[in-house]
Structure formats: structure tokens, C-alpha cells
Structure 1
Amino acid sequence: MNNDIEKVLYSADDIQAAIDRLAKQLTVEYRDKKPLIVSVLSGAVLFTVDLIKKMDIMAQIDFIDVSTYFGGTATTGQLKLIHDMTADVKGRNVLITEDIVDSGRTLDYLVKLLKKRGAKSVKTVSLLNKPEGREFDVNVEYYGFKVPNEFLVGYGLDYKGYYRNLPYVGVLKLSVYSED
């Protein structure tokens, strides 16, 4: 796997330092609010777990799976709800955790869905924020790193389901996915 990486953008230590910073901010923001943390499967799981372990607040967690990629390198433009969450969001402060916000399509859908279901507030924390790829006007209130418009893998981000387990975030070599 490591041979497929053109360059490492953020090491495991870089990622943990960003998570420490975000956890401190979110602990202040959500103290006494008992938020519902909604992790977007599957990419955000590693980030979510590391983040919530460092947040000193009462919180609940749930999961939702929405996809626009279906294994490729670019969004298909079609969104599919694969697994819905089980918690009731009505009157709750909801914090969506994402691995990366790119086009914004998924986040736009989720924010509208959660507001429609009666969430008191909906905010987002993402490890990576890629504003150059934005097609939808979405707000990422908290993020670890602003990233270039390149195809990234590692620490939850994948290509065809692989590379999620890399402890760092790196740029995937074009030769790995150029045949798609």
C-alpha cells in the first residue's frame, strides 16, 4: 500500500495534533449540550473514534452511511442513503463528523435531512476540508486541515475500499487509479 502513495501530506502525529485541537474546541462548544455525534460511514469512523475519546463532554454517537462515490475516484453526482441512523434528532444539537468535505453534496444532503427531522442545531467537524472541490455551499465549522484538490487516501479515506487503514493521509499515485 505504501508504494502506491505519491507523498504523505499529514503524518499520524500531524493528525493526532489536529484532533487534539479540535477536541478542545468542541469540548468548549458542546459543554452541557449533550450533542448527538453522527459519524458518516465508513470514512469518518477512525477520525470520529479518536476525536470523541478526547472530548470531555457527555455525548451520544450514531452512524449514517451516504455515498456518492461507489468505489471510484470522482463523485457520481448521485447520492444514496445506504444506512440510516437510529437516534431521534428532534430538539438535539447534532455534530456531523466527516473524513473529508469535497464537493459538499453529502454534507448538504445530511444537513437538510437532519434539520428536516427537527435537529436544534447541525454543525460539522471534518478532518479534511477541500474547498477547491466544492459544488455545494456548505459550512464546515471545524476542520483539521485545508487540503489541495488531489486524490487522498489513508486514515479513513479510501480508493475502492482500500487504504483506509493507513495511519497517515497521502496523495494516491495517478498510476494506481488512472485506468478508471
Structure 2
Amino acid sequence: MDRTERLARNIMDDIGDHHIVVLCVLKGGYTFCVDLVEYIKVLSRNSSRSIPMRVDFIRLKSYCNDHSTDDMQIIGGGDLSILTGKAIVDTGKTMKVLLNHVEKFKPKMVKVAGLLVKRVTNGGGYKPDYVGFEIPNRYVVGYALDYNEYFRDLNHICLINENAKIKYQI
């Protein structure tokens, strides 16, 4: 929670007086997004400036078991014309496809916040603007992150062991 509050402070410093559209990437980003938005609201209430903010949702699906697939599905986000001319703070993990999609709506600014960033050798060179923690390249669950829709309900983040991967694979 301390790190999420720090990210909210950094976002407020960078955004200035721009209107913000928070685009939450479901399902794995919803808990972090809710916490981040709450900190931004609290900081805004306790400062001399009020930052108008909207929240919208989009869903990306790219995993089967613990492997990322090449089949990226963008689900939801029906009318993203609300992004035109707005500053966007996004939370999520599969950003290149989403950012290409979002840029079609000509936002004024796009910033990406990610609670976790994995240390990978061939990550494609993409790194969020705001990073909570850098973690080893291991599959984690909890805090809305899942393994085939299981474990989202955990209040903490943890590694999934091989027995659980076998038990819950599809």
C-alpha cells in the first residue's frame, strides 16, 4: 500500500492539472487500480488542486495456463472516444497491443502504471512509466492476478507452485 501511495503521488506530480482517464485492465489489474485511484482521490482532496478523473475498464486476455499466447484479445472498452485529448493512466501487463489500440483515439498523454514488472531478458523493451516492484520472471497470483481464473481472491501476491499449476491447468 505504501508503494501504491508513492505511485499515486508520482502520477499527480506528472499529470499536473490535466483531466485523467484511468483505464483499468481487467481482470488482473482491478485491485491495484482501485487502490491507486483511491490514493489519487485522497491526495487530490488534500491538495490545493482538484484533478477531474474518470475510470473505465478494458479486458485483455493472452494467457493459457502459465504461458502467454500470441492470440491477444481486447474485450470491452466499447466507446474509447472518451480518451480523445485526455491524460491516461493505465494499469495492466500486455501493453504494446493495448497502447497501439489506445493511440487510435489520440489521447493527449498516456502513462502506464504497473504494480509488478518482471525481470525478463527479452521483454520487448517496454517498461511502464510507474513501477511498484520489479520481480523475478516467475508466475505470481493473488491481489486479482490469476491462474486460469483461480487465486484472484487472495489478499497477497505469491508464487504458484507446480502442484497447483497441474491441479488448475486447462
- 1:156 matched residue in structure 2: 144
Q: Deviations over 1:75-106 (max 9, x none)?
A: 111111122243421111111112xx3xxxx2
| In structure 2, C-alpha distance between the alignment counterparts of 1:68 and 1:62, rounded to whole Å | 20
Give the aligned residue type for 1:63: F
| In structure 2, C-alpha distance between the alignment counterparts of 1:134 and 1:63, rounded to whole Å | 28
Is 2:80–2:105's contact at 8 Å kept on the other side of the alignment? no
2:44 pairs with 1:59 = no
- 1:9 matched residue in structure 2: none
Q: Percent identity?
A: 27
- 1:28 matched residue in structure 2: 13
Taking the TM superposition and a 5 Å limit, the aligned residue runs for 1:84-95 are: 84-88=77-81, 89-95=83-89
2:97 pairs with 1:109 = yes
Give the aligned residue type for 2:63: Y
Taking the TM superposition and a 5 Å limit, the aligned residue runs for 1:5-154 are: 16-55=1-40, 56=44, 57-70=51-64, 72-88=65-81, 89-98=83-92, 101=93, 106-132=94-120, 134-154=122-142
TM score, norm. by length of structure 2: 0.86
Shift of 1:134: 4.6
Is there any run of 5+ residues in structure 2 with no aligned partner, and where? 45-50
| In structure 1, C-alpha distance between the alignment counterparts of 2:9 and 2:58, rounded to whole Å | 25
Relative CO higher for 1 or 2, CA cutoff 8 Å, sep ≥ 6? 1
Shift of 1:172: 0.7
Which ranges of 4 or more aligned residues in structure 1 deviate by more than 4 Å? none
**Stretch moving more, 18-27 or 130-139:** 130-139
Is 1:133–1:149's contact at 8 Å kept on the other side of the alignment? no
RMSD of equivalent CA atoms: 1.6
Is 2:61–2:73's contact at 8 Å kept on the other side of the alignment? yes
TM score, norm. by length of structure 1: 0.81
